[in-house]
Chains A and B, each alone.
Chain A
Amino acid sequence: MASNFTLEFEKPVLELEKKIEEMRSLAGTLDIEPQIAELQLKVEELRADIYNNLTRWQRVQIARHPDRPYSSDYFNSTFGNFIELHGDRSFRDDPAIVCGLADLNGESVIVVGHQKGRDTKSNVYRNFGMPNPEGYRKASRMFDLAEKFDKPIICLLDTPGAFPGIEAEDRGQAQAIAANLLKMSRLPVPIIVIVIGEGASGGALGIGIGDRILMLENSWYSVIAPESCSSILWRSWDYKEQAAESLQLTAEDLKANGIIDRIIPEPIGGAHRNTDLMSEILKSVLIEELQELKKIPIKELVRLRREKFAAMGVWETIS
């Protein structure tokens, strides 16, 4: 599965690792284990150093890493007994959103998530994780199921945005997203939302209203992708790093600004470096959060959910 894809800022680590390999192959019968152990330590230190000092743009790059776990990976690891359900019962099945039934530590839940592909072919099939209206309507169908059978909902966000195509517009992209925002605001079941990769704009929010909003450490969530922001506000594609800084789109930023409830730590080097560990971390967080939510009477939970979003925003009152 690993694509050997290396991010620019990870190259120093890669070079050290290569050096270790070379030493191993040249050593023959010589005992160089102590030197190698020392270098290995250096690799770990370097990686930790890089990952403890990431810029916002670097985090955006990690969030887009092609080896990063996607929704269906979590559905088949963090969750058990996943069975996918297809179609919006109205137009077609949208492969850019995957959803179905699963269990979380033995309790059945409804899962919904954006889905990207790993290679060109699967990305074309998944439309690069950019849903059409029928994707949001499939999700809406899942929300109805959750209400009917009184099951909690877990949504995983990972999209570069809702698809801006002719057909998507004609089939009501705006209405499909808006309808989900309204429905999720009143659903009488617990909803947990986790940004696992890219949380771009309305396309992400379209399955993103919940009682707990969490983000993986190296994910981003914003009103617009940094490149598009650069193109609109700077009228050039060259200011993406600066746009990422201005937008303050990391998990840390959103936690500091009171938008999200919790940051879920990733293994050093990102979720893709140790997908088993990542899946376990997510599982324990979800179990804990769901336990907490289930203590709250459902009417109260819906009221708190609305209050949570009503409180979002910063303005000043003048006299």
Chain B
Amino acid sequence: MAWFLRSKKNIEDSQQREMPDGLFTKCPTCDEVIYKRQFEEQLFTCIKCNHHFRIGSEEYIGIIFDENSFTETDTNIRSSDPLNFVDTKPYTERLADAYRRTDSADALTIGYGTIEGREISFGCMNFDFVGGSMGSVVGEKFYRAAKRAISRKTPLVIISTSGGARMQEAIFSLMQMAKTSAVLSELAEAKLPYISIMTDPTTGGVSASFAMLGDVNIGEPKALIAFAGPRVVEQTIRKKLPEGFQRAESVLKNGFLDMIVHRKDLRATISHVLMLLT
């Protein structure tokens, strides 16, 4: 199992994260040149057009938690390959590659910490780990985060970003939708708040299970939030998709989000909602 012993993170390799690799970066939406220091101050959003760059759990933890209050848990569980799945390459190779390229233990990081002094149980997905796909490890970690919320009587806050189910875990990945939703029904019975934050993109098995089930659903600006991705929809209906289709702003208009929150207001908004719900 030597592939667990990867070297420290190598952010240059993970292009899906849209992170700058030098002193400045260019906004993919408006071409604005943003300097690295400014970029970090802006919480990885564009100073000109508010484009929210894709970031990972490490950055979100820095954004929403009280300083040094976060403890990551359950870092020791790893995807196995129950079906010996092989497509154009074996699943084990894809996993090894993901461990090498990212600093994540899977597509979901969980733990606990405080936001303005209030303890929460927390999970944040990592899109750069196999497209943020949900397999058994994501399901189990979500389950443990929810169970921790129940046993500690704290709120649960989850930040999602996912291309959907992890196909290489086939039926096991489908059943994670059931597993995560089932534990949320326990959380609901315990009358504990669950805030779901959907970032770009939140689709497929994740949107059709725990991501859409928040007591309060929050979207990041312009985030793609969908069941079927736009390409699949386009192929099915063979029509051009309307402007803004499946973007957070239209999902809000259609009634499936409570609000859209700029990343710089995320911490304060979570705190505000929890203050009134607990």
Chain A residues with a Cβ under 8 A of chain B: 162-166, 168-175, 177-179, 181-183, 185-186, 201-202, 205-206, 208-209, 221-224, 229, 232-235, 239, 243, 246-249, 253-254, 257, 259, 305-306, 309-310, 312-319
Contact = CB atoms under 8 A, between A and B. Distances in A.
Interface stretch (B33-41, B61-69, B181-189): B181-189
A201 B167 CA distance: 10
A202 B177 contact: yes
22 contacts: A164-B227, A164-B232, A165-B236, A165-B237, A168-B227, A172-B254, A178-B211, A181-B177, A181-B208, A201-B174, A221-B171, A222-B171, A222-B174, A233-B167, A248-B170, A259-B175, A312-B172, A313-B172, A314-B80, A315-B77, A315-B78, A316-B80
A290 to B, nearest CB: 21
Contacts, number: 204
B212 A310 contact: no
Contacts of A162: 208, 227-228
Interface residues of B, number: 68
A48 to B, nearest CB: 28
SS of A interface (majority) = helix
B155 interface: no
A179 B212 contact: yes
B139 A313 contact: yes
Interface in B216-240: 225-228, 232-233, 236-237, 239
Nearest to A186: B185
Contacts of A164: 227-228, 232-233, 236
B212 A174 contact: yes
Interface string B50-84: 00000000000000000000000000111110110
From DSSP, what is the main secondary structure of chain B's interface residues?
helix
Given A223-B205, A306-B185, A233 B87 contact: yes
A248 B170 CA distance: 8
B181 A166 contact: no
Contacts of A253: 171
Contact of B204 (A202, A248, A312): A202
A205 B134 CA distance: 15
B90 to A, nearest CB: 10
B176 A312 contact: yes
A233 B157 CA distance: 32
B255 interface: yes
Given A169-B227, A247-B170, A316-B77, 15 more contacts: A165-B236, A165-B237, A166-B237, A174-B208, A178-B177, A178-B207, A178-B209, A181-B209, A246-B85, A246-B87, A247-B83, A312-B136, A313-B140, A314-B80, A316-B78
